[in-house]
Amino acid sequence: MSVALGSTRPLVVRTTSVDDPGDLFARLPETAPYAWVRRGEGLVAWGEALRLEVPPGPRRFDWARDRLSDLFGEADVADDVTTPGSGPVAFGSFTFDPESRGSVLLVPRTVLARRDGRAWLTTVGEQRLDAVTPLRDPGRIRYGDGSLSAPEWEHAVARAVRRIRSGRLEKTVLARDLTAVAERAIDVRLLLARLSGRYPECYTFSCAGLVGATPELLVRRTGETVESLVLAGTIARGSDRADDMARGAALFSSEKDRYEHACAVASVREALDPLCAELKIPEEPELLVLPNVQHLASPVTGRLSAGISVLDVVAAMHPTAAVGGTPTGAALGVIRELEGMDRAGYAGPVGWIDARGDGEWGIALRCAQIEGPRARLFAGCGIMGDSDPASELAEAQAKLRVMQYALEG
C-alpha cells in the first residue's frame, strides 16, 4: 500500500541492545523479509510499518530523501544504541531507469541487526508475533528465455560493438534476463541463506521481492566518511589453482578490461568530487576473487561535505559506467534500443538509510525478482569496441549461475 505524508501518524520507534542473535537469517519469518548482510553482519527485517512508492523522474532521489527526512523527523524515537542502522530505517530499491515505475522505500516493523560487536532490535509501532517456520525448498526449477534468446542477445552485443566502433560511445552495458518457474512458491529466506553461505564477501540483499548477492558497494556513508567499491572487468574462475592465477593475470593485463575499469573509476570520481572535501582513489586496481568470477576492483574513500545524505551520493553516482556505460546518455540510448526489456530493479540502487542519513547502498547485481513460484534472473556485461559476442554470453551465463545456485542449491 502506498502511504502519503500528511495522512499518517508519527512513527513510534524503539531501539534496544540485545544479545548476539547468531545467524541473522535464521530469525526471519517467511513473509516478505528484508536483508542487507555481509560476512554475517548487517540488518534483517520483516513486516511493513510504512511503504512509499517513489514517483519516477529525474528528481526521484530528492523526493525520497525529503519524504524520509520528514517522516523520520516527526517520529517518536527512543534509541539506546545510536549507531548507523539503529533507530528508524528504510530499505529501498530503485529502478535502473529513472523513468520506470517500481522504485520503493519500506520502513519495516522489526529490524534485527549486528555490527562491530554490537547487536540491536528496532521495533516500529505495535508488534505482532511473526512465527519462524522451517525453510521450504522450491522443488524442481524450469528455465526459459527472457526478453531475448541467447542468439538474439549475441546479435544485440554485435550491434552494440558496431555502435562503439563508429565512435558514438566508448562503452555500454547490456543485460540479459532468464525466467525460472519452481514447483512451489520460492522461499526468499532459503535464497538468502544459500547466497550468504556461498558468497560471504558479497552483500546479500532482499527488498520488495528483489533478492541477490551483489559484489558492488555503490556507497556507504558513516557520518562524514563515504566509501565505494568500483568493479569493472570480469573473467570466470579457472579449473584449478594454476589456471585461476593465469586467468587473474590475464584480466589484470587485459587492455580492454583495464580501459573498461578506468571508465568506471572516472565516472565515480566525477560523481563524488563535487560532494567531497577529500577523495582517495588508488592508481591501480586490485583483483576481487569470488567463487564464480574475478573482478578488477578499486576501493574509493572520501570525506563528505556537511549535510550530504547517503541518498544524495546515490543520486550523484547512479548509473555508474560499470552498469550504464560511457558517455552515460549515449550508453543509455543504446541500452534502451538493444536490450528489449525493462531492467526494473536490476542494476539499480538497493540498500538502506537511517534517520541520520547514514546507510549502505549497492548496485543490484547477481539478483532475481521473486514473485510466488516465479523468478526473473538478471546478468549484464560491459561491452567495448573489441568485445566478442560469444565471450560476453559466456560471461553473462557465469553471472546467472549465482542465482541458479540459490534456487537449486
Is 399 catalytic? The answer is no
Kind of pairing, strands 171-182 and 325-326? antiparallel
**Contact present, 393 and 360 (Cβ < 8 Å):** no
Q: Where do runs of H (alpha helix) occur along 145-218? A: 150-165, 188-198
SS3 231: strand
**Contact present, 346 and 100 (Cβ < 8 Å):** no
Distances (CA, A) of 147 to 4, 210, 270, 365, 378: 35, 18, 33, 18, 11
Neighbours of 327 (CB within 10 A): 15
The answer for residues whose C-beta is within 8 angstroms of residue 66's C-beta and 6 or more apart is none
Q: Tell me which of 30, 216, 339, 360 is the catalytic residue.
A: 216
Backbone torsion region of residue 240, taken as left when φ is above 0, otherwise alpha when ψ lies between -120 and 50, otherwise beta: beta
**Contact present, 22 and 16 (Cβ < 8 Å):** no
Q: Is the Cα torsion angle 244, 250, 256, 260 positive or negative in sign?
A: positive
Calpha distance 253→256 (Å, rounded) = 9
Residue 219: name the closest of 352, 29, 41, 53 by CA: 352
Phi–psi pair at 245, nearest 5 degrees = -65, -40
Q: Tell me which of 126, 154, 170, 171 is the catalytic residue.
A: 171
Is 280 catalytic? The answer is no
Calpha distance 26→192 (Å, rounded) = 10
Phi–psi pair at 59, nearest 5 degrees = -110, 25
Calpha distance 211→38 (Å, rounded) = 14
Calpha distance 274→341 (Å, rounded) = 33
Length of the chain: 409
Tell me which residues are annotated as active site. Answer: 171, 216
